[in-house]
Structure 1
Amino acid sequence: MKQKMLYLPMAILSIALLSSGCVGSKKYTQLQTQYTDLQTKHKELDLKYLNSQHDLANAQSRVKNLEEQIESYRSNVASLQTALDKCLTNSNQGNANISKLVDEINASNRYIQHLVNTKNKSDSLNMVLTNNLTRSLSREEMRDVDVQVLKGVVYISLSDNMLYKSGSYEISAQAGETLSKIAKIIKDYSDYDVLIEGNTDSMPISKTNIRNNWDLSALRASSVVQALQNEYGVNPKRLTAGGRGEYNPVASNDTNEGRTKNRRTQIIITPKLDQFMELIDKAPESSQEDSE
């Protein structure tokens, strides 16, 4: 029933256009094909975006679990140290028990250090990436680019004034140099995944073949993805495009300044955290061998 209601206006419009002679049959068929293609692409982009958001949430959860495990191991080491101290003060304890406790403490310390080093390496790479990017951008470019690191993820926010023509998803000529610098950083850090996320303000849009802000935000993200792939050589397997429309504001839409901040495209760079999952599931081999 819902699908019939969706197609009914199109059917009425088709009859009206053909009967009034506003457009020819061939032109109408072309428009209908373009509209159908856009619908299909929009659904594909939405699905890919939802999957990437799910992966990003999982990655952030893994980092939190890793930090909790580090804290748990530190607590365990403290308990083992206390037990060892008691053992040393008790002359009735055998040397075998003391030796075992020492081995456990040493193995736990090595494991903790391994976890800390792995996390610090990821944090350091993020900071180096951010510093390299900000140093490569001019003072003028930095007015339209905001770079932040939040919870182990690098966020590069680009204003729509710099990227696109007004109300369009076509990338402007002036954005090319900035995108090329960002693409170079992305290519230098090949172990990172990249999510391109389009955002708009709440003002309604009325454009041919763009139904609403959802469409506009998704199409803008797709334009950036294709530019990174086709013009700057970024591996498309690392890229995901998604649109959030007007529903992820960073400021109030009641003012011009707020709407300007909300019209943005974010390039979200996340490290692949498979190694963290392996660390959470089991201790490093060196620790296991030493403790046996």
Structure 2
Amino acid sequence: MKKVLLLSFSALLLLSSCVSKKEYLALEEKQKETQDLLNSATVKLNACLEDKAAATARTTALEEQIVDLRKNNESLIISNKDLTLLTSKGASNVEKTLESIREKDLKITRLQDALTKKDSVTLALVTSFKREVGINDPDIEVNVEKGVVYISIADKLLFQSGSYTVTTKAKEVLAKVAKVVKSKPDFECMVEGHTDSRSYQSGVLIDNWDLSVKRATSVIRVLQDLEINPGRLIAAGRSSYVPLVDNDTAENRARNRRTRIIVLPKIDQFYDLVEKEMKNLEAGGN
């Protein structure tokens, strides 16, 4: 650039010596314009160089950001895969938990239905007995204890003193009992004989155990004759060991001498169901 200026200046000197003053001034003006253009071009060049440097710096920064973003993106992809896996496992676990809860609810509902059905049948059974047997008779009591129907018949209504032969009047009462029992084929019928505490011995019967059992079997035979399936009948003797009251008066001893007919659902089936469902619930809880 300096060489150009020197050459131009030298040329002007030479020309000034060779050309007229007017031509010299024109050349000088031309040189000034050229210098202005050169200065302007230099300013623009410097501005371009600065812009280039700034653009290069921005480009470098953007490239670094791109590298960081790629790294973050890869990390997010890995995290997303892990999260997806965890979410999938979590959803599976939640679904399993909900399914377990639904199964437990179903089992509990089954138990409640079984209990409700049993209670409903028991209530209907009590109503039938009270209507058929005659609850107003003071020698006959019908009640429910722990979900089981009990019909307690006084000894004097069933047997003569010291006898195990069922009376004719008792057979009429037992016929009413049999009618209700036959209408409930899913129920069993247990006959319990009870005596007072006074010693008893007669013929082949050596004590109150024998008498209580013999009286129970006598009632069983009447019920069997009334066409109740013998497979549903149970004979039991309790002797004097389950008294209602103390055996200290004649009146109390008369109360204790009784026969109870217990009408109950086939308890093994019902409790098998309950036990099975409870085991399932415990297994599910563990």
TM-score range, shorter chain: 0.5 to 0.7
Are the counterparts in 2 of residues 144 and 162 from structure 1 also a CA contact under 8 Å? yes
User: Equivalent of 2:102, from 106, 115, 121?
Assistant: 106
Report matched runs for 1:206-225 at 5 Å: 206-225=201-220
Instruction: Determine which of 132, 142, 158 is the counterpart of 1:136.
Output: 132
What is the correspondence of 1:110-189 to structure 2 with a 5 Å cutoff? 110-138=106-134, 140=136, 142-189=137-184
Cα distance in 1 for residues equivalent to 2:279 and 2:247: 50
**What TM-score does the superposition give when structure 2 sets the normalisation length?**
0.62
RMSD: 2.6
1:100 is aligned with what amino acid? Answer: K
For the residue of structure 2 that corresponds to 1:137, the secondary structure is: helix
Structure 1 letter corresponding to 2:120: S
Bigger-Rg structure (1/2): 2
Contact kept in structure 1, 2:132 and 2:180, CA below 8 Å? no
Aligned-partner residue type, residue 232 of structure 2:
R
Structure 2 CA distance for aligned equivalents of residues 256 and 164 of structure 1: 17
Answering whether residue 259 of structure 2 is matched by residue 265 of structure 1, we say yes
Contact (CA 8 Å) 2:111, 2:277: kept in 1 or not? no
Cα pair 2:190 2:233 within 8 Å, conserved: yes
Partner secondary structure for residue 133 of structure 1: helix
The one-letter code sitting in structure 2 at the alignment partner of 1:227 is V
Change in CA separation of 1:253 and 1:112 when aligned onto 2, cut-off 3 Å: same
User: 1:111–1:284: 8 Å Cα contact kept in structure 2?
Assistant: no
Instruction: Quote the offset at 1:278 in angstroms.
Output: 3.7
Quick check: 1:249 aligned with 2:243? yes
User: Quick one: distance in 1 between partners of 2:163 and 2:262?
Assistant: 22
1:47-86 Cα offsets, whole Å, 9 max, x none, are: xxxxxxxxxxxxxxxxxxxxxxxxxxxxxxxxxxxxxxxx
Aligned-partner Cα distance in 2 for 1:102–1:243: 52
CA contact (8 A) 2:189 2:234 kept: yes
Q: Distance in 1 between matches of 2:270 and 2:157?
A: 37
The whole-number CA distance in structure 1 between the counterparts of 2:89 and 2:99 is 16
* Residue identity in the other structure for 2:133: L
* Letter of the structure 1 residue corresponding to residue 126 of structure 2: T
Distance 2:205 2:90 in 1: 79
1:115 partner SS: helix
Change (3 A) 1:207 1:104: closer
Measured in 2, the distance between the counterparts of 1:189 and 1:248 equals 28
Partner of 2:197: 202
User: What CA deviation, in whole Å up to 9, does each residue of 1:210-266 have, x standing for no partner?
Assistant: 322222111111110000001x11111111212221122111100122111100001
Taking structure 1 as the reference length, what is the TM-score of the superposition?
0.60
Q: Please show how residues 267-286 of structure 1 align to structure 2 within 5 Å.
A: 267-272=261-266, 273-282=268-277
- Whether the 8 Å CA contact 1:249–1:262 is kept in 2: the answer is yes
Q: Is residue 234 from structure 1 mapped to residue 233 from structure 2 by the alignment?
A: no
The superposition leaves residues 193-213 of structure 1 with CA deviations (integer Å, 9 ceiling, x where unpaired) of 221111111122353443222
> What CA distance in whole angstroms lies between the structure 2 residues aligned with 1:284 and 1:262?
41
Q: 1:269 to 1:204 in 2, by over 3 A?
A: same
Gaps of 5+ in 2: 1-86, 282-286
In structure 2, distance between residues paired with 1:268 and 1:112: 28
Contact 2:107 2:277 in 1 (8 A): no
Shift, 1:139, TM fit: 5.1
**Residues 12-44 of structure 1: CA deviation (Å, up to 9, x unaligned):** xxxxxxxxxxxxxxxxxxxxxxxxxxxxxxxxx
Partner residue of 1:11? Answer: none
Q: Distance in 1 between matches of 2:235 and 2:188?
A: 12
Counterpart amino acid of residue 250 in structure 1: L
Render the CA deviation track for 1:149-208: whole Å, top value 9, x for unaligned: 222222111101111112111111111221111111111111112211111111223534
